[in-house]
Amino acid sequence: MSLQKIYELIDSKKQSYIERLHKAVSIPSVSADASLRPKVVEMADFIVSEFEKLGAKMEKRDIGSHVMNGVEVPLPPIVLGQYGNDPAKKTVLIYNHYDVQPAKKSDGWDSEPFELVVDEKDRMLGRGVTDDKGPLMGWIANLEAYKEAGVDFPVNLLMCFEGMEEYGSEGLDDLIVAEANRYFKKADCVCISDTYWLGTRKPVLTYGLRGVSYFNVTVEGPSADLHSGVFGGTVHEPMTDLIAVMASLVKPDGTILVPGIVDEVAPLTKDEDKLYDNIDYSMDDLKQAVGGEINVYDSPKDTLQHRWRYPTLSLHGIQGAFSESGAKTVIPAKVTGKFSIRTVPNMTAEHINKCVKEHVEKVFASLNSKNRVSVECLHSGSWWISSPFHWHYTIGAKAVKTVYGVEPDLVREGGSIPITLTFETALNKNVLLLSMGRGDDGAHSINEKLDVENYVNGIKLFATYVDELSKSELK
């Protein structure tokens, strides 16, 4: 009965939840841009103030500074919070991130990325709406809904929100390990809402993530950019060398060419292969999500296995290269190629680093170039896999069934939330990944969106999840 009352309240407050998300989106908390670091801190303050209005005890933990493009920059704080401390209640630790990926209207957005708009299809558009400000605002709305409905919040809540997830979660590992037996001691389980449905129709519970190792390869030679008419063909050009190195990493069909990378990949067993037979996913879902028929594999099974359980290598960009419109005839003096490898069981960061370094140096040596090359791993986060048969997943599935009327699909995700494994190992507690958005939300892309329907149902899902958790025997 009380859940029904909360659902009705959530429906009636929809507009105010959109307005709160609007405020959050308008703060460009881009962790990868040092000049926007004050905005990331402003976003932390916004979260603290919203939770404090509801009576939560919040604090900001300073975790020092880091060096970005040669400059020392303060890291944004980790926001910790506590809502309720009743020994008779279960305690869940929730994690979200309040930083976002970079976005510019000129990237191809139809609207200003840092101004939320609701379109004619009732979709909210703006950077971070689905990754991860919508889910974070969803937790605020959940607390508020219980309070306004006059229903006692059924569990104690511990909170951990970071502002560096999109840049490798710098500084968070150490804090989690240090606080595992202090601030986080009472947590019975961990819930992370930073994943998406596989498609657009069916909710999911996610029990696996890939890891990520991100690399910079820099080639430099001349002391300054050169005129290609004067020096072209008479000097070794950094860009030509870099393109040769980048082209040696991966084939157009996605095959990784770095020797040794796949050596540690766990073999696919027959039982694991069977798990892919009944997943509700079609080639049309892929086509819709990417906006074109550009599939490498012809079956959903191969597509999902290469998204979830095989490593992939993606090329992201070249810093220092000419990239404006027009026709500048320049030979860039120093260029940095960026690529990342998504990792899977049982790959290790040490082995990947070694393979990449050896390969890049060997390829570069074969070019007989007089330029210089260097390879750097910017960050690496581990893959994570859990059991979808744990009691925590059972209550998650019950909550999904109550809100959506269907059993969730049990899925893995190709993306990474590096801190998931740290929570699991440091706290020795189960982690559930509870998704709010859909597979076509376009996280990290242009026109990132979150359907209003998913936002509202996501808030109901969080409300139902804490209710289920309060009734659980934790086994």
Ligand X SMILES: NCC(=O)N[C@@H](Cc1c[nH]cn1)C(=O)O
Binding residues: 97, 131, 166, 194, 227, 329, 342, 416, 444
* Strands 449-451 and 123-125, bridge-based pairing: antiparallel
Contact 352, 380 (CB under 8 A): yes
Query: Strand, helix or coil at 449?
Result: strand
Contact 446, 207 (CB under 8 A): no
Question: Toward Zn ion, which CB reaches closer, 131 or 179?
Answer: 131
Segment contacting ligand X (CB under 6 A): 57-65, 324-332, 365-373, 414-422? 414-422
Annotated binding site for Mn(2+): 97, 131, 166, 194, 444
Among 98, 153, 214, 423, binds ligand X (CB under 6 A): 214
Position 237 contacts Zn ion (CB under 5 A): no
Q: CA angle, corner 43, sides to 215 and 159, nearest 5? A: 85
Position 417 contacts ligand X (CB under 6 A): yes
Q: Which of 50, 99, 162, 441 is catalytic?
A: 99
Question: Toward ligand X, which CB reaches closer, 416 or 422?
Answer: 416
Position 451 contacts ligand X (CB under 6 A): no
Active site residue 119: no
Contact 319, 336 (CB under 8 A): yes
Question: Toward ligand X, which CB reaches closer, 332 or 439?
Answer: 439
CA distance 289 to 330: 37
* The total number of residues written for the chain in this structure: 475
Size of the site for Zn ion (CB under 5 A): 3
Alpha helices by DSSP H, 368-451: 391-404, 419-427
Min separation Cβ 340 and ligand X, Å: 7
Min separation Cβ 214 and Zn ion, Å: 13
Within 8 A by CB and 6+ apart from 54, the residues are 83, 140, 143, 144, 147
Annotated binding site for substrate: 194, 227, 329, 342, 416, 444
Q: What share of the chain is helix, strand, coil (3-state, %, to 5)?
A: 40, 25, 40
Question: Toward ligand X, which CB reaches closer, 48 or 417?
Answer: 417
Question: Toward Zn ion, which CB reaches closer, 168 or 337?
Answer: 168
Position 27 contacts ligand X (CB under 6 A): no
CA distance 188 to 93: 8
Among 99, 132, 188, 467, binds Zn ion (CB under 5 A): 132
Query: Strand, helix or coil at 396?
Result: helix
CA distance 159 to 168: 19
First to last CA, the chain: 25
Position 194 contacts Zn ion (CB under 5 A): yes
Among ligand X, Zn ion, none, partner that 426 touches (CB below 5 to 8 angstroms by kind)? none
Among Zn ion, ligand X, none, partner that 416 touches (CB below 5 to 8 angstroms by kind)? ligand X
Contact 5, 149 (CB under 8 A): yes
x-or-dash string of contact with Zn ion, 153-182, rule CB under 5 A: ------------------------------
Q: Which of 50, 132, 144, 165 is catalytic?
A: 165
Position 208 contacts ligand X (CB under 6 A): no
* Residue 362 tokens, joined: 């060997």
Q: According to CB under 5 A, which residues from 254 to 313 bind Zn ion? A: none
For residue 144, the one-letter residue type is E
* Strands 189-192 and 211-220, bridge-based pairing: unpaired
CA distance 346 to 95: 25
Active site residue 424: no
Min separation Cβ 101 and Zn ion, Å: 6
Question: Toward ligand X, which CB reaches closer, 155 or 450?
Answer: 450
Peptide bond into 132 cis (omega under 30): yes
Among ligand X, Zn ion, none, partner that 214 touches (CB below 5 to 8 angstroms by kind)? ligand X
Position 99 contacts ligand X (CB under 6 A): no
Q: Residue 278: which H helix or E strand, with range?
A: none
- Residues near ligand X (CB under 6 A): 131, 165-166, 168, 194, 212, 214, 415-417, 443
Instruction: Catalogue the active-site residues.
Output: 99, 165
Per CB under 5 A, residues contacting Zn ion are 131-132, 194
